[in-house]
Chain A
Amino acid sequence: MTLLNGLLPPYIESIAITVGIYIIMALGLNLITGVTGQLSLGHAAYMSIGAYASAVVSLQLGMPFIFALLAGGIAAGFFGLIIGYPTLRLTGDYLAIATLGFGEIVKSLLFNMPIVGGAMGLAGIPFKSTLTVTLIVVIIVIWMMVRVERSRFGRALLAIREDDIAAECYGINTSLYKVKMFVLGTFIAGIGGALWAHKIMVLQPRDFGFMKSIEILNMVVLGGLGSIPGTVLGAIVLTSIPEVLRFSSDYRMLLYGALLVIMMRFRPNGLLGGVDVTKLVKKSIKSITGSNFADKEKKKVKGGN
């Protein structure tokens, strides 16, 4: 089980774990913003709830890591339920502002809660998020997301994104589905937060501010809203670019910003937005093995006329 740990140089391994955690965070937000089309600007808040809840379970109760992980997810999902129920009735900009406000409230509360260390932070969390553990969780989350997307539930979410009135008229209880989806998305954010807490070992409220939410949103948008492979790619690219650009020292964040602008200019729908990856893979396999790919194309053209 611990095969992977220590295989890579420590610096690379640490980045790989961070990438994994961001993939999890971004996939949770992709469900909310990409698949269902509900803009949330407070995703980091659920990450912090998961992180602190799991840290408390680890430190105060001394329970095994798996319980801390689940506690993080459940705590975040619970707040997702409480916040999602009233706010998901809002749409567009209004929802964005409400989620933003919640994010700031959570941060301020954590600042002023002596139980979790307040502004001093919460230290002494054991290191548990090894590369193996993170990788396993990443795979489980991707697997869950793929299954959810290709199901009756996932189709209902897509329908809500495309046209919520039509969705409602075809039997989808849109407010209920939005809340369910939000609980699942925030649960995943909580899991990501729990992994984060047990990697970074010291939690400070200011790590979970608005900028963190935007960073995660960036990954989803850059990868391609609603695309699972795109979101994974977005998380990998945006987490590793700042590391790759370290050689440019002072200009690092400038280059990072420029790259973002350039990518949005040439791929406004995201790196893999509007690309059906499974179809693409099937197509390329077919064209390599030389089957009737050309014939199919012909038929398509015919049908189009």
Chain B
Amino acid sequence: MALLELNKLTIQFGGLIAVNKVDLKVEKGQISALIGPNGAGKSTAFNLATGIYSPTSGKVLYKGQDISGKPPYYINGLGIARTFQNIRLFKELTVLDNVKIGCHSRSKAGIFGAITRLSAIKNEEKQIEEKAFQALKLMGLDKKYDEFADNLSYGEQRCLEIARAMASEPELLLLDEPAAGMNLQEKIVLIEKINKIREMGLTIFLVEHDMKFVMGLSDRVAVLDYGVKIADGTPEEVQVNADVIAAYLGKEVV
């Protein structure tokens, strides 16, 4: 059974069908990628999988459980964490606090815990801090824990997004254009990090523009164009697919 499965997933905004009957499987332990030209519906598919949008029809299955239309916080609790294409950090908070918030799903202190600060709550807080530092170390940001997120460089902010997602101890990590705006050096480091995360046993599903980045990294690639899946397979298969070439470069008119 696939870890995440999109089943004839469709969403319609007014007259626009942004995602149209997309079938997709993300296998456990693999790195799967979703690519496609601008406006193909990749990010919308992500938003459907993480509960930001509810599908018009079709289903999102996680470990066989139907999660379509469930709220995002619930889906995060099940073990799916994501990053955002247009970085959505908590800008006026420190790097450490950003990652600590990522631990939310895996901790439980409430208002009364906050006020009474019993020893159990203190222990939990200590664990949150340890976990947060682990996630920061993984992404190479532990020395900057005290900085405001807004003061990090663009590449660092992207890494912090991944660190925050990792802090929620997910089984499935969704990365929405993780390499966007990064230079070559940063991309090479990022590929290393993503491979490391995979070795930790996580399943990764990413949306990306950069073909080279995707082809070197992914086990499976699906291609979306105008909301429709036009290809699915290994990177080698997809690269020579005539429909994919047409979607990316345009059709030859003779």
Q: Do A166 and B88 have beta carbons less than 8 Å apart?
A: yes
Which residues of chain B from 164 to 187 have any CB-CB distance to chain A below 8 Å in the complex?
Answer: 164-165, 168
B88 pairs with A173, CB closer than 8 A:
no
Given contact pairs A144-B115, A159-B101, A303 touches B144 in the complex (Cβ within 8 A): yes
A169 at the interface (CB under 8 A from B): yes
CB neighbors of B among A165-182 (8 A): 165-174, 180
Q: How far is the CA of A27 from the CA of B46 in the complex (A)?
A: 39
B19 within 8 A of A: no
Please, how many angstroms separate the alpha-carbon atoms of A147 and B112 in the complex? Answer: 10
Q: Which residues of A contact B128 (CB under 8 A)?
A: 152
Asked if B111 contacts A180 (CB within 8 A), the reply is yes
Q: Does B85 contact A (CB under 8 A)?
A: no
Does the CB pair B168–A171 fall under 8 Å?
yes
Q: Decide if A295 is an interface residue (CB 8 Å cutoff).
A: no
Known contacts A159-B101, A166-B84, A148 near B114 by CB under 8 Å: yes
- A192 CA / B142 CA spacing, docked (Å): 43
Known: A162-B91, A166-B90, A174-B73. A151 touches B113 (CB 8 A): yes
- The answer, yes or no, to whether B234 is at the interface (CB within 8 Å) is no
- Judged by a CB distance under 8 angstroms, whether A184 is at the interface is yes
A162 to B150, CA, bound (A): 11
CA distance A180 to B102 in the complex (A): 20
A166-B89, A303-B144 known; A171-B97 Cβ under 8 A:
no
Q: Which residues of B contact A303 (CB under 8 A)?
A: 143-144, 147
Q: How far is the CB of A80 from chain B (nearest CB, A)?
A: 13
Query: B residues 74-107 with Cβ under 8 Å of A?
Result: 76-77, 81-82, 84, 88-93, 97, 100-102, 104-107
Dominant secondary structure at the B interface: helix
Contacts of B104 on A, CB cut-off 8 Å?
Answer: 152, 155-156, 159, 170-172
Query: Which residues of A lie under 8 Å from residue B100 when comparing CB positions?
Result: 152, 155
A210 within 8 A of B: no
Q: B216 an interface residue at 8 Å Cβ cutoff?
A: no
Interface flag for A234 (CB, 8 Å): no
B123 to chain A, nearest CB (A): 12
Q: Are A172 and B88 in contact (CB under 8 A)?
A: no
CB of A250 within 8 Å of the partner chain: no
Contact partners of A169 in chain B: CB under 8 A: 50, 52, 72-73, 76, 81-82
**CB neighbours of B92 from chain A (8 A):** 162
B23 to chain A, nearest CB (A): 24
Q: With A147-B115, A148-B115 as given contacts, are A158 and B73 in contact (CB-CB < 8 Å)?
A: no
Report the bound CA distance from A172 to B90 in whole Å: 14
Contact (Cβ within 8 A) A168 B72: yes
Q: Which residue of A lies closest to B84 (CB)?
A: A166
Q: Does the CB pair B101–A184 fall under 8 Å?
A: no
Is A111 interfacial (CB-CB < 8 Å)?
no
In chain A, positions 107-156 with a C-beta closer than 8 Å to chain B are: 144, 147-148, 151-156
Q: In whole angstroms, how far apart are the Cα atoms of A62 and B195 in the complex?
A: 70
Chain B CB within 8 A of A163 CB: yes
* CB-nearest residue of chain A to B103: A152
Report whether A170 and B102 are in contact in the complex, using a CB–CB cutoff of 8 Å: yes
Chain A residue contacts of B82, Cβ below 8 A: 169
Q: Which residue of B lies closest to A155 (CB)?
A: B101
A70-111 Cβ-contact flags toward B at 8 Å (1 or 0): 000000000000000000000000000000000000000000
Question: Is there an interface contact between B97 and A158, defined as CB atoms closer than 8 Å?
Answer: yes
Contact partners of A147 in chain B: CB under 8 A = 114-115, 117
- Give complex CA distance A154, B109 in Å: 10
Interchain CA distance A169-B104 in the complex, whole Å:
10
Q: How far is the CB of A136 from chain B (nearest CB, A)?
A: 16
Residues from chain B with Cβ under 8 Å of A172 in the complex: 73, 101, 104
* A151-B81 in contact (CB<8A): no
Interfacial chain A residues near B147, Cβ < 8 Å: 303
Contact residues, A22-39 vs B (CB, 8 A): none
The reply to whether B114 and A151 form a contact with Cβ atoms under 8 Å apart is yes
In the bound assembly, the distance between CA atoms of A71 and B88 in angstroms comes to: 42
Q: In the complex, are the beta carbons of A154 and B114 less than 8 A apart?
A: yes
Give the shortest distance, in Å, between A251 (CB) and chain B (any CB). Answer: 38
Among A158, A168, A173, A174, contact of B93 (Cβ-Cβ < 8 Å): A158
When the two chains form the complex, which single residue of B84, B105, B113 contacts A171, counting CB atoms closer than 8 Å?
A: B105
Chain A residue at minimal CB-CB distance from B128: A152
Q: How far is the CA of A148 from the CA of B107 in the complex (A)?
A: 16
Query: A10-48: contact bitstring with B at CB < 8 Å (1 yes, 0 no)?
Result: 000000000000000000000000000000000000000
Knowing that A148-B115, A159-B90 touch, tell me 14 more A-B residue pairs with CB under 8 angstroms: A148-B114, A151-B113, A151-B121, A152-B107, A155-B101, A156-B101, A162-B91, A165-B88, A166-B88, A167-B90, A169-B73, A170-B73, A172-B104, A173-B71
Residues of A within 8 A of B (CB): 144, 147-148, 151-156, 158-159, 162-163, 165-174, 180, 184, 303
**What are some 23 contacts across the A-B interface (CB < 8 A)?**
A148-B111, A151-B114, A151-B121, A152-B100, A152-B104, A152-B107, A152-B110, A152-B113, A152-B114, A152-B124, A153-B110, A154-B114, A155-B93, A155-B100, A158-B93, A159-B104, A163-B90, A169-B76, A170-B168, A171-B76, A174-B73, A180-B111, A303-B147
